[in-house]
Amino acid sequence: MNIIFSEYGKEAKLVEGRTILSYLQELGIDINASCGGEGKCGQCQVEVECAPGTLSDKTEAEDKFVHGDTQRRLACQARILRTDDPIYVRVQRRTYYVLESGEYKEISLEPFVHLEGDRVFCESEDIGRYTGELHGIALDIGTTTLAAYLIDLESGKVSSVISRENPQTKYGNNVISRIEFARKGQDILEREIRTAVNEMITAMTDPGKVYEMVVVGNPVMRDLFFGYPVESLGKSPYEPLSTMPVTKTAEELGLEANPRARVYGLPLIGSFVGADALAVVLATELYKNESVGMAIDVGTNTEIVFGNKDRLIATSCAAGPAFEGAGITSGVGGVSGAIKEVRIENGEVKYKTIDDAPPVGVCGSGIIDTLAELLDKKIIDGRGKFYGAEKEFRIAEGISLSEKDIDQLNLAKTAVSVGIKVLLDRYGIELEEIDRIFLAGGFANFTNTENAIRIGLLPDVERERVKKVGNAAIEGARQVLISKTKREDAEVVAKRVEHIKLEEEDNFMELFVSELYFQKYLQKHQTE
């Protein structure tokens, strides 16, 4: 008998001992399995119809994330016991809301791709006949999402923008789980990402008119895209194979573009600080300013850069996917129905969801709002523990935040705050001396900054010094695509940035303990 995914028109032969998740991965059906199939995130929920005894009993992990519904299972936990009856599986399609763009900055147009008569050249190389349009693509490969700009290389203007979920999420939603999977199936991860990018390209334009691409991403994402081994990032000293820029052709990578189109990957900074962080530095122009600024992109792998024209330092923080909803009992990504705003007024919870749809869970911005409100209303103490007998807080029907959830969020918050503190110390500067804090990426863009400061995720500075810059990584990629000067800047700046590894700091554990919990928040507000 077969396992059948009717909505996708796909099926496969049942094999005793296999999980439903393994079939989703094999058949290329997108599903979020943030923890890599370990039953820790609760994201890979599916609806199943089958004869009794065909699947294994629900596990403890499923009891935690799936309440009451006998047909709903975690795909990574549901294991096939019998093969004499068919299994019908329905996967809920979810569209992620992706921050597609950053602040466009006017820069001089000086692309590498240009016309000479009716021929298209990339620098001195003839790469084809002119067919009426010169297109380039700036691509940001995030761990969870992908975003791309289609750019007219004759005007420098963005013609189209497209985004989607990174299909690799079915193999884990953090860089460590991707590295683990790559040990046995890197070719699968490479194929997934390139297939998705090809679909994005063909949705935007005639691929034959694409003559150059610029790619940014963290070290794992960049190197998987270009086909470089990522195993070295999973063991000490946790460094990529090379931090140098990468250049290949579309034909070498199997991309839908002019076969000789150049595909350029920005250089990496070191360890888990990647080309995306470098692109943020370019877009915010930290490297040009007299005053010291900070750029921070909060996510599963949070990257922080401090500096100015004289000195730049950077680090990454293993914050984990908690603020993206993974591993949180009722957590979800930025999908339709996700609770995105929460307030507690006169003991009553008021919330807003994405698309004003019925609530399906709570996403990162809603999680931060809830934490801040629980602290404000003295429902939890400085350690994140509830004052009363209850051990969880109900946000909506079937959606709550537990003490265990708060513990996970506290650890993620602390990782980021320690990263900031270490860089301040290494730079020899006080927080008050930071001229501007740039918040990059989708998480920061959709989050209430005041509440993020209140829980200690972001530093407590004058609010006018904080600026949201959207998807600054893809904006940096755009600039590198249309400007030779910016590309030269990128390669010079990458070598200038001092990379700091937090775990190697002598006082790392001491700092971690000092930043743990929310006492500082409570003390500050009790004195106001």
Domain match, 129 and 182 both? yes
Q: Give the CA dihedral 107, 108, 109, 112, nearest 10 degrees.
A: -100
Q: How far is residue 273's CA from residue 275's CA, in Å, rounded to a whole number?
A: 7
Q: Answer for the pair 437, 461: CB distance below 8 angstroms, yes or no.
A: yes
Q: Would you say 302 and 310 are in contact if contact means Cβ atoms under 8 Å apart?
A: no
For residues 264 and 133, membership in a common domain is answered with yes
- Domain identity same for 143 and 227: yes
Instruction: Check which CATH number belongs to the domain holding 156 and give it.
Output: 3.30.420.480
Taking Cα atoms as reference points, which of 456, 404, 459 lies closest to residue 431? 459
Please list the rounded mean pLDDT of every run of 10 residues in the chain (528 residues).
89 94 87 77 86 92 76 92 93 63 81 95 93 95 91 94 88 86 94 96 96 97 97 94 97 97 97 96 96 91 94 90 78 86 94 92 93 93 88 92 92 92 94 94 86 91 92 95 97 97 88 79 52
Q: How many contiguous H segments (helices) and E segments (strands) does the chain have?
A: 14, 25
- Cα distance between residue 132 and residue 488, in whole Å: 29
Which one, of 193, 196, 164, lies nearest residue 178 by Cα? 193
> Is 244 found in the same domain as 129?
yes
Identity of the amino acid at 196 = A
Q: Do residues 56 and 197 share a domain? A: no
Sign of the Cα pseudo-torsion (230, 233, 236, 237, in order): positive
Q: Is the same domain home to 78 and 118?
A: no
The answer to whether residue 391 is domain-embedded is no
Scanning the structure block, which residue is given the tokens 């250049």?
A: 247
Same domain? For 61 and 184 the reply is no
Q: Is the peptide bond before 259 cis (omega within 30 degrees of 0)?
A: no
CA-CA-CA-CA dihedral for 248, 250, 254, 256, to nearest 10: 160
Boundary residue ending a domain (222, 254, 279): 279
Does residue 392 fall inside a structural domain? no
State phi, psi for 228 to the nearest 5 degrees: -95, 145
Q: What are the structure tokens assigned to 179, written together?
A: 């590295």
Is residue 230 located within the same domain as residue 189?
A: yes
Residue that has been written with the tokens 């001092």 in this structure: 498
In a domain, 273, yes or no: yes
Co-location of 79 and 227 in the same domain: no
- Residues 135, 159: contact at Cβ < 8 Å? yes
Is residue 346 in a domain? no
The DSSP element (H or E) to which 488 belongs, if any, is helix 484-496
Same domain, 155 and 206: yes
Q: Name the residue range of residue 154's domain.
A: 113-279
Strands (E), 221-333: 246-249, 262-265, 293-297, 302-307, 312-317
Distance from chain centroid for Cα 31: 15
Identity of the residue numbered 204: M
Q: How far is CA 325 from CA 104, 333, 524, 528, in A?
A: 30, 6, 28, 32
Last residue of some domain: 279, 307, 339? 279
DSSP secondary structure letter of residue 468 = E
In a domain, 143, yes or no: yes
Number of domains in the chain: 2
Residues 129 and 189 in one domain: yes
Question: Where are any strands of DSSP class E within 397-476?
Answer: 399-402, 436-440, 466-468
Verify that 198 and 159 share a domain, yes or no.
Answer: yes
The CATH number of residue 52's host domain is: 3.10.20.30
Residue where one domain finishes, among candidates 255, 279, 303:
279
Task: Give the DSSP letter of residue 285.
Answer: T
Q: Give domain status of residue 170, yes or no.
A: yes
**What is Dmax (Cα atoms) for the chain?**
78
Does a structural domain hold residue 221?
Answer: yes
Whether 328 is covered by a domain: the verdict is: no
Distance, in Å, from the CA atom of 299 to the CA atom of 318, rounded to the nearest integer, reads 9
